[in-house]
Amino acid sequence: MEFDFRKIEALVRKALEEDLGAGDITTDSLIQENALARGEFIGREEGIICGLPLIEPLFRLLDKDMQFKAALSDGDEVSPGETIGEIFGKARAMLCGERVALNFLQRLSGITTLARKFVRAVEEYPAKIYDTRKTTPLWRYLEKYAVKVGGGENHRFGLYDMVLIKDNHLRLLGRRGLKEHIRDLRKNLGAEVKIEIEAENLSDVTEAVSAGVDIIMLDNMSLDEMRQAVELVGKGVRKIAIEASGGVTLENVKRIAQTGVDRISVGALTHSAPALDISLEVEPIE
């Protein structure tokens, strides 16, 4: 997944506007307009860096001549005290953009760091780690980018790019005629659109296999139920991916991978990742 600043430029502009308002009254009152400065981004704890491609374009919205020189790349490990990159330009712009830049960098690096931990926990098994739609509003592109940098995979980006039949859909539809619903979906949407269905028990799994879906999501099932579901699906004629979902933690993710599931979706990657501690140290250029 290549980073594209154009996709989040409006968000960055809004973030700067939120912080700056009519202007930085502290900086504008104390710092000369033409003063130049050098800033150093420094890691304060161990983790994985993410978000560096947005630093220079963010600051250039404040100073078109701002330059950023990265010492690391997205996906690189950082140690406490290590330089992540340096920025050069007008001191006022640097101070005005400092907090917003760090907010993006710390948040994305935190997600990437957590994603890498999950990926490493299951690396000896075929199961892949997937994110969810449990993202910060308007940050989805960035947060899913951060998951990919950490070695994880992206689930659907939104309601528009994949069918996921969940419990609420089934309550409204009723389970009668599930095969017909799946058949109609394939006819209307085309074979390229993946169809996933949520299963709460083994009976649901059997029904989903019969309906011919592409992916079955095992919702909050026990490890024993997951193993049985893998066996049930394995007996099917067509290949169906099995996704484990619900209550996944770093403590249990390896045991889940051992059941033989293909995918493990983890909402915590984006809704509960702690920010990585990073600072920006600024000094004048004489």
Active site residue 194: no
Q: Which is the catalytic residue, given 9, 45, 153, 219? A: 219
Paired tokens of 271 = 């809704």
Sheet holding 215-219, edge to edge: 128-130, 263-265, 241-245, 215-219, 195-199, 163-165
Strands 83-90 and 128-130: unpaired
User: Among all chains, which residue has been given the structure tokens 């130049």?
Assistant: 36
Sheet holding 67-70, edge to edge: 67-70, 83-90, 36-43, 278-285
Q: Which is the catalytic residue, given 24, 196, 198, 204? A: 198
Q: Is residue 225 within 8 Å of residue 201, measured between CB atoms?
A: yes
Dist CA 62 CA 16 (whole Å): 9
Q: Which is the catalytic residue, given 44, 60, 99, 227? A: 99
Active site residue 243: no
Residue type, 59: F
Active site residue 134: yes
For residue 37, the surrounding DSSP H or E stretch is strand 36-43
Active site residue 14: no
Paired tokens of 183 = 């058949």
- What's the DSSP call for residue 123? T
β-strand partners of 197: 165, 216
Active site residue 98: no
Strands 263-265 and 163-165: unpaired
For the CA atoms of 143, 146, 148, 152, what is the dihedral angle to 10 degrees? -80
Q: Which is the catalytic residue, given 7, 69, 120, 166? A: 166
Task: Provide the annotated active-site residues.
Answer: 99, 134, 166, 198, 219
